[in-house]
Structure 1
Amino acid sequence: MAKSFLILAICVLCVASIRASSFVGMPVEDICKMVPAFTKILVPGSCIDWAECGEDGEIIDDGTCLAGWMFDKNTGKCSKSSMVECPFGYNLKKPCASEKNGTFLRNPEDCTGYIYCKEGVEQYSACPMGLNFNPETKSCVYASEYPCPEKEEGNEANSICLSVGDNIRMADPNSCTTFKVCNKGVLKTTKCIAGSYFSRELKRCSDWEESDCATAEPTTEEPWSSICGTDDDPIVGFISDEVTCSGYYYCDEMENGKADRNPKFAKCSNGKFFDANSFSCKDRTNVRCLFDRCEGMDKRFANIQGDCTKYTYCNGGVSSSEGSCPEDFYFDEKTQSCTKKVVSYLGCLE
């Protein structure tokens, strides 16, 4: 019976469509914003793909280990597969990359499905209704013979440690006063001593001026008393200054549980706006902001939030006049021109 199911599976594979595995984990770009510059990490969902992070959290290099080799996140190098234990079990992103032609593999997303390797390319298909794929016998069998394994509860925090090596101090995207370290696959959070803030560059806690949270000198202006909420409902973390597109405050977590009455103020560097969703400074065209988008621009044109066909002329960092591109044209702030190519920057969408 099992043999016939296997034959049926092969026939179904003849018309199977190719699609990518959908392992869900933290994006590489988000991990790069946490780890020190020039750290090499394992790409989530893969055993052979790696990426190197730059000083600004960007990806500056990437690669794929050769056949028979896997990436070791602890050494930051490709090593023989026999010497590396892949934290993802096997290569979920390219499971057929190191498999022989004609190999059947289980589908980690669906126990009724399977993967057929044809010349290193994945072909996904599923068993007939009511049958599960048994990875040991490589065949479709009744559920009574091979019940679907229970899925383990995911741990988003510890998923970072599947890609990052042990003992690497990482910035905490939600706090200036703590940092994170992986220890045998478990993510641990450590708080800096009072009055110090974590520096991704220095890999340690330091003064505010050297920390990741300070991209500009603090202002001498006294922040309004309610900026970090009330003592009964304090706000902790990064918040917009509610006046400009680049200014933001950091509300520290106070030991007494009350609101921070002396939050740190900073501004994103020129060309970048504060993004409250990712707690980061991003390219101005990729941030929604309802304040004057001419900030930091002079004698140039900027996109208008809410309409990608319109633009505003910036004079001394202030919007002075508005215009619109011809019909079926869009304004591209990066090229400073109207174009027929659809422009869909977050900085101009509704």
Structure 2
Amino acid sequence: MHKQYLLFTVFTVGAFAVPDGYYQFNCPKEHGQFEDPYQCDKYYECNNGRATEKLCPDGLVFDPESKRVSKCDQPFNVDCGDRKELQPPNQVGVCLRQNGFFPHPDPSMCHIFYNCVNGQELEITCSAGLHFDWETGICVWPETAGRTGCKGNPNRKLNDGFQCPAEYKNVDGNGQIIPHPNFPHPSDCAKFYICLNGVEPRLGACFGGLVYNPETQRCDEPENVPGCEHWQNQSVESEK
């Protein structure tokens, strides 16, 4: 009875002697790195069963499933689960934290974002027609990003004045969406325009005597394209 009383007294005093929020981590294995149960960017390194508390670089979080030596990764690559807490941010300019991918401070500039490494930012512009998605750290279609009030990156023009049309038929005969539609050249049957993501123009060309067929959006034999039936003969004449 006396021993039981002493043990109870020590436990009781110990339980109330520690400050609020105190947590003592017990190593589940002699060696390894293990996540904190409350804070996603905190982990413990165990050596011979003794735990040392560590923090990921600001902006990164600990991934217990990682097989790498350094288990700190971008938040969008890690499922933190109930580990909701994070260390206080150390913002530098547009870098909301020292490391990570962050949107432009102007919320209307949805196509520009920053890759921050140790507080140094690199400005990145999405391909035309795409918006930065903070949850995935990549550029996606506007409807996927779900951002509002975006100005977007304006449609570009080629030197010959071509600009991708604002409205076009974006589905083919089978009802499939056409992500990069093509458009015929106004005067050259062998040339056509490619609109990347529907807004960024590139000049394409058919070779080997073929011409562009706007119906199939492919290079085809001249006789299959109305108005270009004699294009091969015309191109030979123009080269003389």
The two structures have a TM-score, normalised by structure 2, of: 0.27
The two structures have a TM-score, normalised by structure 1, of: 0.21
Report which of the two has the higher share of strand.
1
Report which of the two has the higher share of helix.
2
Q: Greater Rg, structure 1 or structure 2?
A: 2
